[in-house]
Amino acid sequence: MQRSGTTASPTQRLASYRHKRDFGRTPEPAGSTAAAGAAPVRRFVVQRHRARRLHYDFRLEIDGVLVSWAVPKGPTLDAGVRRAAFHVEDHPLEYVDFEGVIPAGEYGGGDVIVWDAGTWTPHAHRVRDTTDPAAAVAAGELHLDLYGEKLRGRFVLVRTRAGRSGKEDWLLLHKHDEYAVPGWDAEDHPQSVLTGRTNDQVKADPDRLWRSGVPASRASVSLKPAPVAPADAGDLAALDALPAGGSWAVFGRELRVTNLDKVLFPARPGEEPVTKRDLLRYTARIAPVALPYLAGRAINLHRYPDGAGSKGFWHKELPEHAPRWLPRWDNPDADPGETRTYLVVDEPAALIWAANFGGLEWHAWTSTTGAPHLPTYALIDLDPGSATSWDDLLTLARLHRTAFEHLGVTARPKVTGRRGIQIWVPIAPGPSFDETRAWVERLSRTVGAVVPELVSWKWQKSDRGGLARLDYTQNAVNKTLVAPYSPRPAAGAPVSAPITWAELDDPGLRPDGFTIRTVLPRLDTHGDLFDAVLDHPQRLPRLD
């Protein structure tokens, strides 16, 4: 194992770290040479890490990497106590503020909080000693001063012997100084210094994942995008004042909008048709609400440039003429001829651009670009057949409701805006698409067995005899379901709208009953009924 104090480059020194991790699955950062420049102030971090066993990761910034020790019982301010520490592989600098969940099954899988953080300086305790920390580590004795929120004062790391499996055994101790506190125990101070949360809270509701193999500035993947302010009333008025097209400034971006008076959705009886101007106005108003369901994910657009009355087509590849400011993602797993560069709606103006481009439907991947093989939702698609009545579909949805209540699982339904109902189940990072799909299939087959006269499991629609399909196959990479609040290409511009479980018993509920004209007042009254899928990541229970 490459150790600190050698002449190896940061890239070489991270070889052991990378070897133990599958960056196709884990959200941890891989590290890069770009992160290896020496910082003017040395940082340290202590992460409380619940993997196979609870331990504290004590990390010091030295020569472009985080030199690391695992401390099972955690550091202490008690000068009379010595803590066992085990020198482990160097970690990349990007890891210095990582707080989240490492997927189960990966090296170090578990939950991590930033238990303490700050800066540090090496200390030469004898005249002949070096103040070069890498040399001190190589020599087996490092004296240092910590300036953290919990840990302060003089500490010493001393190597005792080479341990089993090539790991070095060290001791970590605090000197007798003004910061020493008898009886001080790390477990009495379990909160993160970044968020104030405990490991349990981070595990139940992680905020971040990490992308590997990219520059540090783009390594962090937020699971909860920062709230976006509503569209400015002046910007909306400017859209209304434009002629058939022109330049429109909205959400800080300058967009070239065209054909604003073109009818995109035919009228419903007693209503006016929906124009492109109407669609863009709706998109600007709904974008702050829809963004958390789209941000950090590849988008598959269903385009209808000639309106909902024409035949649409799927458009996945971001066109070369797209504005340079548009967020995007290059899929490293794309085969020749497959879509390589996807739109990522990381800001509201990107969604408005998509609508102006003819994207009447918005379909986001169920995994993030940072971990494309790890789903964040389990999806249940109640797909009616030609002989399926709305009452039949409601029966299937209510049976799923009962199943989730029995299992204690958080899930949220939405009407599709066409004929169906979809249910999204938020899941914590970890299970693969294969595992998620198998779970959904087992659940839906159990539900379907209660009413076999309503359900077919045949793959081809023509073989189903008009019966409904409980489609679990959407749980796969690059498979999507229409996003919450997305319009659908039909008369009146219906919307895929979240509903409450209780609304399944409302005789007035219809799958296409909410439109771009009615869903906004509903939001004002009821709020976002789907936000539980953002705030309740959970482990799927075993189905016996």
Q: What is the mean pLDDT of residues 177-192?
A: 97
Q: What is the mean pLDDT of residues 101-110?
A: 71
Lowest mean pLDDT of 40-54, 89-103, 359-373, name the range. Answer: 89-103
What does the alpha-carbon distance between residue 357 and residue 323 come to, in Å, rounded to a whole number? 12
**Is pLDDT at 473 greater than 60 in this prediction?**
yes
Say what the pLDDT of residue 452 is.
96
Is-contact 9 190, C-beta < 8 A?
no
Lowest mean pLDDT of 60-69, 72-81, 366-375, name the range. Answer: 366-375
> How many CA atoms lie less than 13 Å away from 134 in the CB half-sphere?
19
Q: What is the mean pLDDT of residues 96-102?
A: 86
Maximum pairwise Cα distance, the chain = 91
DSSP label at residue 397:
H
> How many CA atoms lie less than 13 Å away from 65 in the CB half-sphere?
29
> How many CA atoms lie less than 13 Å away from 438 in the CB half-sphere?
9
Share of the chain above pLDDT 90, in %: 72
Q: What is the pLDDT of residues 276-303, one digit of tens each?
A: 999 999 999 999 999 999 999 999 999 9
Q: What is the mean pLDDT of residues 365-377?
A: 90
Q: Considering the entire predicted model, what is its pTM?
A: 0.70
Q: What is the pLDDT of residues 382-402, one digit of tens each?
A: 999 999 999 999 999 999 999
Q: In which residue are the tokens 């599958």 written?
A: 22
Q: What is the pLDDT of residues 201-219, one digit of tens each?
A: 988 888 876 544 445 555 4
Say what the pLDDT of residue 187 is.
97
107 compared with 372, residue with greater pLDDT: 372
Q: What is the mean pLDDT of residues 45-68?
A: 95
What does the alpha-carbon distance between residue 317 and residue 339 come to, in Å, rounded to a whole number? 5
Q: What is the mean pLDDT of residues 266-279?
A: 97
DSSP letter for each residue of 188-234? G--S-TTTS--HHHHHHS--EEE-SSS-GGGTEEESSPPP-PPPPHH
Q: What is the mean pLDDT of residues 322-334?
A: 93
Mean pLDDT of the chain: 88
**Is pLDDT at 532 greater than 50 in this prediction?**
yes
DSSP H or E stretch at residue 382: strand 377-383
**Is pLDDT at 37 greater than 50 in this prediction?**
no
**How confident is residue 360, by pLDDT bands cut at 50, 70 and 90?**
very high
Q: What is the mean pLDDT of residues 319-345?
A: 93
Q: Which residues of 203-224 are buried (b: 16+ CB within 10 A; e: fewer)?
A: bbbbbbbbbbebebeebbbebe
**Is pLDDT at 36 greater than 50 in this prediction?**
no
**Is pLDDT at 11 greater than 60 in this prediction?**
no
Q: In which residue are the tokens 């089993």 written?
A: 164
Q: What is the mean pLDDT of residues 48-63?
A: 95
Q: What is the mean pLDDT of residues 29-54?
A: 70
**Is pLDDT at 199 greater than 90 in this prediction?**
yes
